[in-house]
Amino acid sequence: MNVRSLYTKISLLLALSTIVIISGCTGQTSASVKISESFTIAEVIDGDTVKLENGQAIRLLGINSPEADEHYYKESGDRLAALVLWKNVKLESGPEDKDRYGRLLRYIFIGDTFVNLQMVKEGYATVYILNPDEKYYLEFKEAEKDAKEKKMGVWFSSGVQACIEIVEFNYNAVGNDNENLNGEYVTFQNNCDSAIKMDGWAVKDEATNTYTFKGFALGSNSKVTLYTGSGNNAGDKLYWNKKQYAVWNNDGDTLFLRDEKGNLVLNYKYP
């Protein structure tokens, strides 16, 4: 083989390799974000779930709205209905196509309105980012911060949000969590100069686990620790009295703290 023929073959191989690499990269990029054609929303289930005309359920990405037994449930659903019901929308997918219930995971747009973000801006939903979908994370967090500061929607309460914070959260107990229930705990602190009556307040996870405070008041500039397992309530120690299974998922969960009227005081997502 002469030198010219060798150079020609090498050049062709390099060109083909470049085409393959570019094609592969382009395919990956277009697959991560897909904007669909228009669809019509035929039903609103609640503040974060809708159905198309063909019956397919859509779970709005990036947000979480109140459940049926929680404060602001009806208002959240009504607001989403006002935004999307019987309107033509465009859907944008994220890294995951569906959730475990078979619902499509999508961002919804109507013209210039980003519906998911609008629900957070107006206080009808809180931020719930499903990893690794972080595309609109900053926009969502900024909108939630603004709604919280203005006490809009789910954030409206008696004004104690600024007083209560989580100062320690051990959601991953040593060893098997189900065998070390009191190794799982969360500590709340009252940073204000007056006591906060928490009778009727509730702590809840993303599932259905709920702890309700009974006849308890958190003193000014004081802490209280809520343990998952069993024990005798005393002073700064309270017990959920779970007997068999841990509450907090090690790979990620959200703690919701609501006052006696169902108003959201804390929305703490980890990790």
Active site residues: 59, 67, 103
Which has the closest alpha carbon to 121: 107, 139, 137, 108? 139
> What is the token pair recorded at 148?
């919280």
Query: How far is 175 from 63, CA to CA, in rounded Å?
Result: 33
How far CA 251 is from CA of 51, 94, 130, 131, 227, in Å, comes to 30, 20, 12, 11, 19
- What are phi and psi for residue 82, nearest 5 degrees? -65, -30
Cβ atoms < 10 Å from Cβ of 260: 14
Q: Is 17 left (phi over 0), alpha (psi -120 to 50) or beta?
A: alpha
Query: How far is 125 from 76, CA to CA, in rounded Å?
Result: 7
Cβ atoms < 10 Å from Cβ of 37: 7
Query: How far is 131 from 270, CA to CA, in rounded Å?
Result: 11
Query: How far is 211 from 208, CA to CA, in rounded Å?
Result: 10
Which has the closest alpha carbon to 253: 196, 214, 204? 204
Chain centroid to CA 59: how far?
12
